[in-house]
Structure 1
Amino acid sequence: MNRKRPTNTEAQADMTPMLDVVFILLIFFVVTTSFVREHSLSVTRPESNSAVSAENKTLMIQVTHSNHVVMAGRNIETSQIASNIARISATEPFSSVAIRAHEQSRHQQVVTVMNAVREMGQWPIALVD
Structure 2
Amino acid sequence: MRRRFKKAGGDDAGVNMTPMLDIVFILLIFFIVTATFVRERGIDLVPPPPSEEPPVDPPPLILVQILENGTIFVNQQATDIARVGARIERFRSENPDSPVLIEPDPDAEHGIVVTVWDQANQVGARGVNIQPREQGEQGG
TM-score, with structure 2 as normaliser: 0.50
Aligned to 2:101, the other structure's residue is in SS state strand
Question: For 1:120, which of 119, 123, 130 is the aligned residue?
Answer: 123
Distance across 2 between alignment mates of 1:94 and 1:58 = 9
Does the CA contact (< 8 Å) of 1:57 and 1:93 recur in 2?
Answer: no
Q: Which residue of 2 aligns with 1:58?
A: 61
Note the residue ranges of structure 1 that are not aligned, 5 or more in a row: 1-46
What does 1:17-96 align with in structure 2 at a 5 Å threshold? 52-53=56-57, 55-96=58-99
Query: C-alpha displacement at 1:104, in angstroms?
Result: 0.8
Runs (5+) with no aligned partner, structure 2: 1-52, 133-140
Q: Structure 2: how far apart are the matches of 1:73 and 1:89?
A: 15
Q: Which residue of 2 aligns with 1:101?
A: 104
1-side partners of 2:65 and 2:85: how far apart?
A: 15
Structural RMSD (CA): 1.9
Q: Matched residues, percent identical?
A: 19
Contact kept, 8 Å, 1:63 with 1:69, in 2: the verdict is yes
TM norm structure 1: 0.54
State the shift of 1:95 in Å: 3.0
